[in-house]
């Protein structure tokens, strides 16, 4: 994958980033799954032709607009990023000048908001049975969606939560409650649930748990799923075997619905199938193996989605709070997996 700066010859491109107004279904009744699928398909159908948008989680060190530059430098056409410090519940608001720089950089380098997926703070536990933690997590979710709005971004990814000493049913209800509350406070931004590895009391390791959360969200056009390959494999979904990816996607479609799939986190796994350990590995160097990722980048059902690496391929500043196993990119090995398929989109 080339690492040329795609914006150098297209500086006259006008900014494309804008927020879409979403009608509150609580005023007209909740939408059925069929209705949701039609709405979501329409919103996701912005690209001219099916393409793969591969990128990585990148650093915001030096200014949030630097994330765009970092993605361009590695040849990415999608990217993930944090929207603030991972070490504190209280964070300064995003400066307006920084927000403008971010939007200008995205426009210059042709990044569509649909291919940018901010990642939530690990401090959040929207399913916590502890009232103080739940209250802080709910407030942080509102803050994260607000930051997305300021930056002109349309979706936000986070780990659902953990039951701790409570039941998963109560945890699921609280997660949905936090999402519904955030949706009332901040318009338009879609909340994207990440599947988990099933470690401890975490919720979201099984597809039916994700569906249970979605079922309790009032505006279903504003909720989706990011499928993490390492988490899925660790939770027992075998994407490594022959035909495994097809089987897993078929099951996801049957249980959750593929129209809810908004993104994929591309990570190999240090642990074996069903280990319930969240240990990311470079593509092709883990237990999932290179063939699975070759299948992923050739899977048409994953066209037009951001495919974002979070592998230990290079170091990320400690200030990002991204531990070993949750770093940035391993482009060369993914390029090898992709072979000669047209990975990137046409110039904007």
In order of start, what are the domains of the chain with their CATH numbers? Answer: 50-338 (3.20.20.150)
57 is catalytic: no
Average pLDDT in the chain: 84
* Residue 29: pLDDT over 60: no
- The residue annotated as part of the active site, out of 222, 280, 294, 326, is 280
The band of 119, judged by pLDDT with boundaries at 50, 70 and 90, is very high
**Mean pLDDT, residues 335-343:** 37
The answer on pLDDT for 247 being more than 60 is: yes
* Distance (Å, whole) CA 175 – CA 212: 10
The DSSP-derived string for 187-206 is -SPEEEEEP----TTEE-SS
Report the candidate in 105, 301, 139, 126 with the shortest Cα–Cα distance to residue 203. Answer: 126
Q: Per-residue pLDDT for 13 more than 80?
A: no
What's the rounded mean pLDDT across residues 295-317? 86
Whole-model pTM?
Answer: 0.80
Asked which of 115-119, 260-264, 321-325 is least confident by mean pLDDT, the reply is 321-325
Measured distance CA(8)–CA(25) in Å, rounded:
43
> If you average pLDDT over residues 130-144, what whole number do you get?
98
Catalytic residue among 147, 174, 231, 262: 231
- Reply yes or no on whether 228 is catalytic: yes
Catalytic residue at 87?
yes
303 is catalytic: no
Cβ contacts of 264 within 8 Å, gap of 6 or more: 226, 227, 228, 229, 296, 302, 305, 306, 307, 308
Q: Specify whether 159 is catalytic.
A: yes
Confidence class of residue 327 from pLDDT cuts 50, 70 and 90? Answer: very low
Residues 18-31, mean pLDDT to the nearest whole number:
43
119 is catalytic: yes
Residue 181 annotated to the active site = no
Active-site residue 194, yes or no?
yes
The region of weakest confidence among 41-55, 104-118, 173-187 is 41-55
pLDDT surpasses 80 at 46? no
Find, among 226, 249, 212, the residue nearest to 159 by Cα.
226
Element (H, E) at 43: helix 33-44
Q: What pLDDT does residue 150 have? A: 98
Q: Which of 4, 10, 87, 324 is catalytic?
A: 87
């Amino acid at each position: 994958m080339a690492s040329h700066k795609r914006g150098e010859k297209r500086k006259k491109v006008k900014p494309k980033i804008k927020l879409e107004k979403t009608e509150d279904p609580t005023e007209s009744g909740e939408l059925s799954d069929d209705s949701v699928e039609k709405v979501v398909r329409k919103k996701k159908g912005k690209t001219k032709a099916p393409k793969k948008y591969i990128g990585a989680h990148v650093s915001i060190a030096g200014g949030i607009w630097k994330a765009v530059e970092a993605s361009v430098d590695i040849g990415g056409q999608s990217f993930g990023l944090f929207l603030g410090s991972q070490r504190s519940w209280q964070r300064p608001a995003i400066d307006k000048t920084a927000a403008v720089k971010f939007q200008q950089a995205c426009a210059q380098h042709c990044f569509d908001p649909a291919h940018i997926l901010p990642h939530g703070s690990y401090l959040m536990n929207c399913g916590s049975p502890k009232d103080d933690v739940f209250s802080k997590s709910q407030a942080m979710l509102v803050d994260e969606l607000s930051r997305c709005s300021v930056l002109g971004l349309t979706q936000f990814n986070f780990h659902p939560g953990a039951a701790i000493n409570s039941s998963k049913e109560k945890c699921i209800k609280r997660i949905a409650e936090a999402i519904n509350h955030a949706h009332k406070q901040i318009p338009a931004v879609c909340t994207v649930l990440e599947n988990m590895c099933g470690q401890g009391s975490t919720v979201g390791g099984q597809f039916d748990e994700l569906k249970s959360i979605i079922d309790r969200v009032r505006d279903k056009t504003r909720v989706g799923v990011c499928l993490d390959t390492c988490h899925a494999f660790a939770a027992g979904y075998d994407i490594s075997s022959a035909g495994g990816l097809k089987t897993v996607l078929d099951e996801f479609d049957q249980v959750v619905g593929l129209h809810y799939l908004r993104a994929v986190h591309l990570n190999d796994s240090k642990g074996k199938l069903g280990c319930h350990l969240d240990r990311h590995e470079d593509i092709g160097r883990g237990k999932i193996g290179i063939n699975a990722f070759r299948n992923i980048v050739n899977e048409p059902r994953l066209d037009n989605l951001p495919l974002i690496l979070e592998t230990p391929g290079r170091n990320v500043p400690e200030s990002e709070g991204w531990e070993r196993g949750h770093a940035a990119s391993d482009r060369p090995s993914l390029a090898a997996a992709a072979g000669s398929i047209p990975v990137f989109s046409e110039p904007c």
